[in-house]
Amino acid sequence: MKIPENLHTLKVEAPEPHLWIVRFNRPEVLNALGTKTSEDLRTLFGPLAFTPGDLRCIILTGTGERAFSAGGDLKEREGMTDDAWRLQHAVIEEGAYALLNCAVPVIAAVNGIAYGGGCELALACDFIYAASTARFALPEVTRGIIPGAGGTQNLPRTIGERRAKEMILTGRAFSAQEALAWGMVNAVCEPAELMPRVLEVARTICRNAPIAVRQAKKTIHQGLQTDLTTGLLLEIQAYERPISTEDRREGVRAFNEKRPPEFKGR
């Protein structure tokens, strides 16, 4: 998969085959999310819903040590008309939904504060690793608005309705340790250990059969939106897809030959 060249606020690295590291790249404003950031998210992640190519895993993080993302750029929004605000928010939705619908696994490496839209984009990833110094918040009600990039839906699905109501309705910040205890964060690391730990997890995913990984991700995500019987039907439909692949045959052959498999994504 080729990295787009027309990105303004995201820095994308391909440190090794099948893996991208995507960084919010406005450290001078704590990686605040302006219109350009949402446009870049839409440009980068939009095609990955259906045409991920040879990409197998993505790490999403922030440039610098202070912030994953401080959320929406309120300076940019100063003086906006209602219509301009609505049009801008449509772009924000498109960027967030493109991330949420990415076919390949996306791991959030939260290296600092993740407030507002930054917290929502972390929640849009498949799972989260956080530095011990990270803090989270959905403070929109303190600004006269509400979370609008998936926060009111993804947070209660992650930490439960009552806890999510408390966090969203008060707008208070919470620590990485609290997020870990509530099941929002998978692991908390010392800041210097965060990226090495996430890279280790990403490499493990990249070594697995990519078609099977994508099918499993899709089934988990879609199955949680429905009842158990429908979810089981989705699982069987997804299970059928890898049966006829070379990777399925390679996986069985490698197991019987007692060697690591070499998956090709076909």
Q: Which residues are catalytic?
A: 120, 140
Instruction: Report yes or no: 106 and 60 within 8 Å, Cβ to Cβ.
Output: yes
Angle at 80 between CA 45 and CA 119, to 5 degrees: 40
**DSSP line for 147-183:** --SSHHHHHHHHH-HHHHHHHHHH---EEHHHHHHHT
The C-alpha atoms of residue 95 and residue 69 are separated, in whole angstroms, by: 15
Between the alpha carbon of residue 145 and those of residues 89, 94, 141, 148, 203, the distances in Å are 12, 19, 5, 8, 39
Answer left, alpha or beta for residue 13, where phi above 0 means left and psi between -120 and 50 means alpha.
beta
